[in-house]
Every structure is written in structure tokens, then in C-alpha cells.
Chains A and B, each alone.
Chain A
């Protein structure tokens, strides 16, 4: 099997997976107690009005028809209209996604920095105090509930020291606008990128300030796993011949570790990183709630509370596709990079 056929096979496999997800969500959401139609009215509405409203939402049709209608819409790229506010779901998802993406990216950066660096350090000083303390730190980081750590961060850095804002993405003012050249308007929704595009350094600083605490929290909690993984892989790699050879050639220890060993040890970690990133894209619900971060996770939880069927389905499908794409990309990259694997 060549690399190309592997990719194609994976792509094809994505479709039944997303279909399964979609069907599951479709059914689960309709089993949840309560329905979006009656939630629009407080008082008793006469049954005719309720029927009319259900008709507006498309809920009067039998479930198979609803399913097929939705599927047909999806194939055309239409995620349907929210049952809560009748806005197009795709528009809402795309306005929420950049927030989650930005948080995911920066959390990954912190997670990798903390996890990989500490893990490598630990492996260098095997069985020393440094090694043990780093490992304990890794375990502790994993065990702390993310909202507790977040609250502690807020308590200390935002409330007590006033160093960082306590939540939200940006100050009440003009958010980064991206690049406008005549008629062309380029806006990614990622505030850091947009401030760079706009050429506004103060906005860049602002967006980083708002990003700092949430990504630090999320990144720290996730780094625990990476510390362990990196350390384990590094320990194995450091045993290998080429490392001994490099040392024998008189290279500095730091070059050996970070230059040679780490690169090879990282390969298996790559898949894990990819999966983590994909999971992060689903929106770290708790982090987004504590830090009032307007991302996809919070959007989903809000919509679940309103039983907004189309929105929930839309997010799940979107997310399923995203995960599939990301894991495909990571696996392909891995297969490409690792000369030992050839299909």
C-alpha cells in the first residue's frame, strides 16, 4: 500500500464514521427530555400554535423524513437553521470556532513547551531528584481538575494581583480587524493573527494578555501526559546506538539530547499530539466556561440546555469531520516522516 492509497482509504473511512456520529447525535438529541418548540413559550399556548411552531422548526414530520432532510442539507453544505434563534448554524459555528482554535493553538504551545522540555529534562537525569519531582509534577498536573486550577489562576493573577484579565477574549473596544486592502478584507477570527495583519501591536499584546491564563491552565493540565510520554520515549531513545555514537564523538550532552534524541523520540508522540489537538478543537468546555471564552464548547453546552437540535447536530458533525481530518493529517505526516514505516 503506498502512501497515497493509504490516505485515500482513510478519507473514505471518514464518511461512515461521520455518518455514524451524525445518526447517533440525531437520535440522542431527540431522546433528551424537553423539546425546543415548547421552550419558546412560557405560558400555555393553544395546541394549534404549538403545532404551527413545530412545523416552522420542521419537527412535525416523521423522524425519518427529518433525518433525510437534514442529510440532504448537509450534503449541500447547509447545516440548517438554529432552532433557538433561526440563524444559520454554520454562521454560528464559524463565529465560535476561531476562539476555540486560538485557545487550542496556544494551549498546545504551552503543553508542548512544558511537557516536552520537562520530559526531556527528566529523562536526562534519570532517577535523580529532578527526575522524580518532574514526574510528580506531571502526575499532579493531570490530577488537578481544570476548573479548579483555572479558578486558582483567576483568584491569584486576576483578582489579587490584577496582572491579567479574568475572562473573555478582548476588552470593550475595537477587536482586531484583520487586513483591509480596498475591497479585500482578510479576517481570520484569531485575534493574535488579526492584530498582526492589522499592524497593531497594542492589540496583539492585548489579545495575548487575554489568552494567557486560559491557555496556561489548559496547557498545564494536559502537559502531565506529555511529560510522561516524552520521558518514556526519550529513555528508550537514549539507549539506542546512535546516541552512544554521538556521545562517543564528543558532542555536548545538550546537543545529543535536544538535537538528536529528542527528534527521534518525538515521532510517536506526534500522533498523541494530533489527537489531543483534535480533542482541544472540540472546545474545552470547562475552561471556556470559567474564562468566559466564547468558543465552540460553550456554544455546544448552551445549545444543549436549549435542546437546539440543529445546532447540536451541526457542532457534532463539524467536530467529527475536524477530528477525522486532523488525525488523518497527523498519521500521514507520521508515516511520511518515519522511514521505518512504509506502506
Chain B
């Protein structure tokens, strides 16, 4: 057994999960298709340095603002940059920002959520109060304010998105914890003298992971959209990195002169990526909160 290659092991793990998912009907399919889309986009982004015909930020590689042609399948933009290369590599920043913001949310939101809701009492009230106030605030505006404060940059954008999203994590975790806290076997463990942290880790956390995964994927989707939105408002990343957000911003101005290809293709990519993550998230939440069978 120990001589089995790791690929075999992963496959053994993988297959039942796959078939298990498919057997779950639409939700399973949603997760599969969603992750497939994300994986495809991710792979394209990773291999973009090798498959891009031109350097995505090199100017004047082609005639300015030329429509899709054989030489430039997705056309060129107003600086003569090749849109195909930009579409290939523009997602990297999106992924970076999204992943970073999810990590921050997990690192901050999960412990706070777990601790505050388990501890209850004043701590819980205070935490809920703060989180609700942040949650009540229109997300994009808060992100704009924080982005303006911190300045452009991948980390700063991720932070602004994370701040907007932490309350959502908090809420979901809290509602779950409150339910689980009262379950009989948790009570039993407490009576047997288990420490709070042990209970949190052993009993509550595993059951909460699934919901966290669901909201994390939605977080990814929203992070991608917010990153594009922030760039749109002018608070995004410096223009030296290829970035779909920039293409959307410029593409908008170029629409009036008839150059539809600059905004359309990066826009479709953003939609695709957000769609992939959303599908995953929707599928996961459907799985975890199964609807009544008819």
C-alpha cells in the first residue's frame, strides 16, 4: 500500500467525491461546473506568460483600437495593447486580491465569530453590535473609503474587501454556533468537564466549516466584482499590472467610439470567474441546507 503513488491516493479520494456530488443532483453539478470554471480560468491565468502572444503591457504591438482580426483575435485597445494577452493575464490580480481577502476574513472573522458567539453575554452583544454596524453600511462605499485611506495595491484592496465581508462571516458562524451550542452532546461534553476551547475545536468548528466554505466562495465572487468596481472608481491598482478592471474602465470610455471589444471580453471573463465561484457557493449551501425532497 505504501508503494502506491500519491496520484492514486488522490484519485481514490476524488472519485467518490465526484460521484457523490453528481448524485446530489443540481447542487452537485453546480459545484462541479463552478469549480471547473474557476479551475480553467485559474489555469489560463497561471500559464498566461507562456501562451500570451504578446506582452500584455507592451504598447503599440498593433494598430491602435483595431477590431478583432486574425492577427489580434480579441482586437487591440487604445494603447495598441493586445487584448488577448490582456485577457489571459488580467485575472492574476483578481485571484490575488480575492484569495488574500478570503484569507484575511478567515483569519479574522472565524476566530472572532467562534469566540464571541460561544462566549455569549456582553462580548457577544458588543461584537454583534460592531459587526451589524459595519454590515449596515453600503459595502462598496466602505471599500472605497478604506481603499482611499490605504492607497492602491493588492494587499490594500484585499483588506478593504475583507473589512466589508467579515461581518457576513461573523453572522453565519454566529447563527450556526448558537444552534450547535445547545445540542445535547455538546452539553454533555461540557458537563464532563471539557474546556471551552476544546469544545470549540472539536465539536463546533467541524460543523461550521461547511458553512464557512460556502460563504468563502461567495466572498471570492464578491471580491472579484469589488476589485473591478474599485478600479472603475479610480482606486484600484497601478496600471502597470494587466488587470481586467482597467480594461473595463477604459472600455467604457471607448464604447462611444464604437470599440466594443475592449470592454466585452474582459467583462465576460470577470462574469465567468464570478459565476464559477457563485455556482460553487450556491451548490455548497444547497448541499448543506438540503431542501425537502418532494
Contact = CB atoms under 8 A, between A and B. Distances in A.
Interface in B15-32: 25-26, 30
Mostly, the A contact residues are: helix
A286 B252 CA distance: 12
Interface in B229-282: 229, 232-234, 248, 251-252, 255-256, 260, 263, 267, 270-271, 274-275, 277-279, 282
Contacts of B129: 16-17, 20
- The size class of the interface chain B forms with chain A is 35 or more
Contact of A28 (B149, B229, B279, B282): B149
A154 B267 CA distance: 14
A304 B144 contact: yes
Interface in A119-135: 126-127, 132, 135
Contact of A145 (B234, B267, B279, B294): B267
B221 A148 contact: no
B34 to A, nearest CB: 9
A326 to B, nearest CB: 10
B294 A126 contact: yes
Contacts of A330: none
Contact of B278 (A142, A300, A316, A323): A142
Interface string A297-324: 1001100110000000000100110011
Residue from A31, A135, A301 having most chain B Cβ neighbours under 10 A: A301
B196 interface: no
B148 interface: yes
A5 interface: no
A12 interface: no
Contact of A289 (B233, B277, B278, B282): B233
Interface string A21-43: 10010001101110000000000
B133 A148 contact: no
Interface in A141-160: 142-145, 147-148, 151-152, 154-155, 159
B292 interface: yes
Residue from A17, A32, A285, A286 having most chain B Cβ neighbours under 10 A: A285
- The size class of the interface chain A forms with chain B is 35 or more
Given A31-B149, A289-B232, A304-B148, A143 B271 contact: yes
A276 B140 CA distance: 14
Given A239-B292, A282-B141, A285-B141, A143 B274 contact: yes
Nearest to A138: B282
A301 B230 CA distance: 11
A320 to B, nearest CB: 7
5 nearest A-B pairs in the assembled complex, by CB-CB distance? A282-B138, A143-B274, A143-B275, A148-B267, A143-B278
Interface of A: 16-17, 20-21, 24, 28-29, 31-33, 126-127, 132, 135, 139-140, 142-145, 147-148, 151-152, 154-155, 159, 228, 232, 235-236, 239, 278-279, 282-283, 285-286, 289-290, 297, 300-301, 304-305, 316, 319-320, 323-324, 327
23 contacts: A17-B132, A20-B130, A20-B133, A28-B149, A143-B278, A145-B248, A148-B263, A148-B270, A151-B252, A152-B267, A154-B255, A155-B255, A155-B260, A228-B282, A232-B291, A285-B140, A286-B229, A301-B141, A301-B144, A305-B234, A316-B137, A319-B138, A324-B136
